[in-house]
Amino acid sequence: MFKPADVTSRGTVRANDAFRGFPFRREGMLDKLGTKGIVGVVCLLAGITLVAVQAPIVAAGIALVVAGMGLVAGGLAENVMKMFGMA
């Protein structure tokens, strides 16, 4: 069953954006991160791996803190973009 948003003004059905590239859209991920971002992710993973070799519980804590900081930063960025009308 189609929703009204899936039908164009001519009555033809357009592809739903949610299912294009399902399950993941990978084509733009590396472009969005850039070289510095990729190096940062590699350093982050290497650091957590190095700690995990010596103290797995501490490494799990560090990973949770980093994930939490990422979620907070993403939420802040999204809200700022909404305030400026860009999201």
Give a yes or no: residue 7 inside a domain: no
Helix H or strand E encompassing 79: helix 56-83
- The total domain count for the chain is 1
Please give the pLDDT value at position 38: 86
Give a yes or no: residue 21 inside a domain: no
Q: Which residue shows structure tokens 């305030």?
A: 83
Report how far residue 72's alpha carbon sits from residue 63's, in angstroms, rounded to the nearest whole number.
14
Give a yes or no: residue 12 inside a domain: no
Give a yes or no: residue 25 inside a domain: no
pLDDT in tens, 18-69: 555 555 555 566 677 788 888 988 999 999 999 999 999 999 999 999 999 9
Give a yes or no: residue 4 inside a domain: no
| DSSP code per residue over 41-75 | HHHHHHHHHHHHHH-HHHHHHHHHHHHHHHHHHHH
Return mean pLDDT, the chain.
78
Which residue range is the domain that position 49 belongs to? 35-87
Give a yes or no: residue 14 inside a domain: no
